[in-house]
Homo-oligomer: A and B are copies of this chain.
Amino acid sequence: MQNNQSESSLSPPMVHVVDDDEAVLDAVGMLLDSIGQLNTCYKDAQVFLNAYNEPDFDKHNGCIVLDMRMPVISGIECQHRLEELGCSMPIIFVTGHGDIPTAVEAMKQGAVEFIQKPYREQQLIDAIQKALQINLKTQKQTKKVQQTHSKLALLTKRETQILEAVVSGKANKVIAIELHLSQRTVEIHRAHVMDKMEVKSLAELVKIVVDASPAE
């Protein structure tokens, strides 16, 4: 297994715009073009989801602007499908005839904005900017966690055991007794752990391991 992380944070983010009203779609597309923002437009949710499932589709770098009221697959439905597909891009909803329960539902599902038509262009641009900022932050965090997991995968069983004990704050002496080992053996495993995890201090080790743990 290798490090297959591409440097997505370096490539420009894509804004995916989904709206069944072609006039709106074109307008938003041109608006984004005018500010030099990379974008792709989709005439309905199904077309977007199909594109999303293409192997070369970047599922994590950018954000999504979703119209609420669309035929066949609604914005909310699309949000749910994306959730299931593990999409990490923030969603901005745009709607003409929204009601409060729908807006609340969308926000509870994690939407970053819910904008009503008609809106000022700047309003949408601000929301997109904010969404992209959130996305950038998520990406960095996710990347770090994945890198830590790659390193953790390189540890042997014993090393993992020692790592857990060390991170939980036990002294080498204690670990040695608990695992029926000599102190020297613990020291060597510990040194290997520090090497493989690419850290120079216990503090760093604890931080990256805790960060990459279940609760987050």
What is A's interface to B at a CB cutoff of 8 Å? 98-101, 103-104, 107-108, 112-114, 116, 166-171, 199-204, 206-207, 210-211
Contact = CB atoms under 8 A, between A and B. Distances in A.
Given A107-B107, A108-B107, A210-B210, A167 B203 contact: yes
Copies in the complex: 2
A211 B207 CA distance: 10
A104 B166 CA distance: 44
A115 B57 CA distance: 38
Given A108-B112, A206-B210, 8 more contacts: A99-B100, A100-B114, A107-B108, A167-B203, A169-B199, A169-B203, A169-B204, A210-B211
Contacts of A203: 166-169, 202, 206
A169 B108 contact: no
Which among A167, A170, A200 has the highest number of chain B CB atoms within 10 Å? A167
A162 B198 CA distance: 24
A169 B202 contact: yes
Contacts of A166: 203
Contacts of A206: 202-203, 206-207, 210
Contacts of A204: 169
B113 A104 contact: yes
B113 A169 contact: no
A131 to B, nearest CB: 12
A131 B114 CA distance: 23
A108 B109 CA distance: 11
30 contacts: A98-B100, A100-B100, A100-B103, A100-B114, A100-B116, A101-B116, A103-B104, A103-B107, A104-B107, A104-B113, A104-B114, A107-B107, A107-B108, A108-B112, A166-B203, A167-B203, A168-B203, A169-B199, A169-B201, A169-B203, A169-B204, A171-B201, A202-B202, A202-B206, A206-B206, A206-B207, A206-B210, A207-B210, A210-B210, A210-B211
